[in-house]
């Protein structure tokens, strides 16, 4: 926009000069210049409109929540991550969080060893709700829990993260019976069952499916279930409400959604905050910086003029991966009071940017599944708080969680937007989006 205004002003002075050369009066020349200036001002008032001079393929792009990667091997899709010079990924450190989740469950068992084994069979049994077998966060969490509880089995140098179905007899090959040494006694830990919570339409991380699964498991071996673990709170809360709350079985999730944090007071075992308040900020901030043409670290590691800045205990940036990762924090009975409001902006990055310096820009942003608990109840409300602070006019597109085309069909006119924030259904599918921007 600024570029166009400069052009209009330049034209006005050229006109003024030529009018003067033709012998017109100075007054006429000034009028002509004013008219051109008015036209430029009018155009500016019609803002925001995408800057037509920038090709879609060169516009800032941020992938978030689902990192472009091979869903079987986890290998990063560097072509997508380096699509143009203003491309980034924003997520969180999946391994650090997964380790925290595993440790949180283990520590709970250690602390409550006198009461945890409900049927007194000497086996501490847990069931595990898996979100999406092809999602790196889900894989990491399954591995983190199995590693901490000693049930992990190696598979080509990495922990096997496959679901096992049911394993009440301990014969499954994707896991093993673990042992925990507590106060000089050795206890057996068994993954009694695990399953990918995918509904019949294909949506993953499906809370309703998890609620049904715990019902099925409980009716056949409920007495043996001492702990319930879930790859996220959406599924965890569904299991808690369906069964574990009434049966006093500690249930652990991930995401620190507000309902899960509140449920800690009622026996929910704990959750992990993936610092969505920091991630949502970073998601929009990297776009803002690219649109402003400033140092990419502005308002991130380096304070901006409004004072926004993140300290390095809440995120890391990996230059080679073009990725920002927020750091996770365990939320348990000891500290849950501090996490009750999951949609509150993070105070160190809550200052409003000046609109004169950071004019309003249009952003297209999708959420892969409008009914994903974490994204809809935590992430999107946070994005909506930050978009105002950063002067971004964001169009939020909610997908059905099943097919990429349901979302890409709604990116019919990328030229209308100045920047894009993308949350894929499947981490392998980055090219379905970049193809549209390349057109
Ligand atoms: C969250 C899950 C969510 C998934 C969606 C994960 O990072 O923890 O709750 O369902 O992202 O992609």
249-290 tens-digit pLDDT: 999 999 999 999 999 999 999 999 999 999 999 999 999 999
Residue 209 is part of a domain; what is its CATH number? Answer: 3.40.50.2300
Let me know whether 169 and 194 are in one domain.
yes
Let me know whether 268 and 280 are in one domain.
no
The residue out of 252, 273, 294 marking a domain boundary is: 273
Residue 196 has pLDDT above 60, yes or no: yes
Considering the domain boundaries, does residue 250 fall inside one? yes
Residue 4 has pLDDT above 50, yes or no: no
Let me know whether 159 and 242 are in one domain.
yes
Considering the domain boundaries, does residue 51 fall inside one? no
Residue 99 has pLDDT above 80, yes or no: yes
* CB neighbour list of residue 33: distance below 8 Å, 6 or more residues apart: 12, 13, 15, 16
Considering the domain boundaries, does residue 335 fall inside one? yes
Cβ(66) – ligand 1 distance below 6 Å: yes
Q: What pTM value is reported for the model? A: 0.86
Let me know whether 112 and 167 are in one domain.
yes
CA–CA dist 367, 373 (Å, integer): 11
CA–CA dist 252, 230 (Å, integer): 6
Q: Which domain holds residue 101?
A: 95-273
Task: Please state, as a whole number, how many other Cβ atoms lie within 10 Å of the Cβ of residue 36.
Answer: 20
Residue 176 has pLDDT above 80, yes or no: yes
Counted domains in the chain: 3
Cβ(255) – ligand 1 distance below 6 Å: yes
Let me know whether 421 and 402 are in one domain.
yes
Mutate to test the pocket of ligand 1, among 145, 279, 374 (most ligand atoms within 8 A of CB): 374
Considering the domain boundaries, does residue 262 fall inside one? yes
Let me know whether 204 and 303 are in one domain.
no
Considering the domain boundaries, does residue 68 fall inside one? yes
CA–CA dist 174, 176 (Å, integer): 7
Instruction: Tell me phi and psi for residue 225, to 5 degrees.
Output: -85, 115
* CB neighbour list of residue 338: distance below 8 Å, 6 or more residues apart: none
Let me know whether 299 and 413 are in one domain.
yes
User: E strands within 156-222?
Assistant: 158-159, 165-166, 178-182, 185-196
**In this predicted structure, what is the pLDDT of residue 73?**
86
Let me know whether 60 and 40 are in one domain.
no
Let me know whether 123 and 175 are in one domain.
yes
Let me know whether 308 and 350 are in one domain.
yes
Separation of CA 182 from chain center? 36
For residues 56 and 437, the answer to whether their CB atoms sit within 8 Å is yes
Let me know whether 133 and 253 are in one domain.
yes
Let me know whether 320 and 421 are in one domain.
yes
Considering the domain boundaries, does residue 389 fall inside one? yes
Expressed in angstroms and rounded, the spacing between residue 328 Cα and the centre of ligand 1 is 14
Cβ(126) – ligand 1 distance below 6 Å: no
**In this predicted structure, what is the pLDDT of residue 74?**
87
The residue out of 251, 273, 295 marking a domain boundary is: 273
Expressed in angstroms and rounded, the spacing between residue 68 Cα and the centre of ligand 1 is 14
The residue out of 235, 251, 273 marking a domain boundary is: 273
Residue 173 has pLDDT above 50, yes or no: yes
Cβ(387) – ligand 1 distance below 6 Å: no
């Amino acid at each position: 926009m600024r570029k166009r205004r400069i052009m209009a002003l330049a034209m006005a002075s050229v006109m003024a000069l030529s009018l003067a050369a033709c012998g017109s009066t100075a007054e006429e020349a000034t009028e002509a210049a004013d008219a051109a200036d008015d036209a430029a001002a009018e155009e500016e008032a019609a803002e925001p409109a995408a800057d037509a001079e920038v090709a879609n393929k060169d516009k800032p792009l941020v992938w978030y929540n689902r990192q472009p990667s091979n869903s079987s091997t986890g290998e990063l899709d560097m072509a997508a991550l380096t699509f143009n010079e203003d491309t980034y990924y924003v997520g969180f450190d999946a391994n650090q969080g997964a380790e925290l989740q595993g440790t949180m469950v283990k520590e709970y068992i250690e602390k409550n060893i006198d009461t945890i084994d409900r049927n007194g069979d000497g086996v501490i049994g847990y069931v595990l709700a898996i979100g999406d077998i092809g999602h790196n966060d889900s894989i990491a969490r399954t591995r983190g829990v199995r590693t901490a509880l000693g049930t992990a089995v190696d598979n080509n140098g990495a922990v096997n993260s496959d679901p096992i179905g049911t394993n009440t007899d301990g014969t499954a090959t994707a896991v093993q019976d673990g042992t925990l040494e507590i106060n000089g006694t050795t206890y057996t830990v068994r993954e009694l069952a695990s399953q990918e919570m995918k509904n019949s339409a294909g949506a993953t991380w499906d809370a309703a499916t998890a609620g049904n699964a715990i019902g099925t498991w409980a009716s056949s071996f409920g007495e043996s279930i001492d702990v319930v673990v879930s790859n996220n709170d959406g599924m965890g809360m569904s299991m808690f409400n369906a069964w574990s709350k009434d049966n006093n079985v500690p249930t652990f999730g991930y995401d620190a959604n507000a309902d899960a944090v509140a449920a800690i007071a009622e026996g929910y075992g704990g959750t992990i905050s993936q610092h969505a308040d920091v991630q949502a900020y970073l998601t929009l901030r990297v776009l803002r910086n690219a649109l402003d043409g400033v140092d990419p670290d502005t308002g991130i590691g380096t304070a901006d003029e409004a004072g926004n800045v993140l300290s390095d205990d809440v995120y890391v940036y990996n230059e080679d991966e073009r990725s920002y990762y927020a750091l996770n924090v365990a939320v348990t009975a000891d500290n849950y009071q501090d996490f009750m409001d999951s949609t509150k902006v993070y105070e160190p990055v809550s200052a409003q940017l000046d609109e004169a310096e950071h004019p309003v820009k249009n952003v297209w942003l999708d959420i892969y599944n409008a009914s994903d608990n974490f994204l809809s109840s935590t992430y999107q409300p946070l994005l909506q708080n930050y978009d105002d602070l950063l002067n971004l006019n964001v169009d939020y597109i909610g997908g059905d969680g099943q097919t990429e085309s349901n979302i890409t069909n709604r990116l019919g006119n990328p030229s209308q937007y100045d920047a894009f924030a993308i949350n894929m259904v499947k981490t392998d599918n980055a090219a379905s989006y970049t193809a549209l921007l390349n057109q």
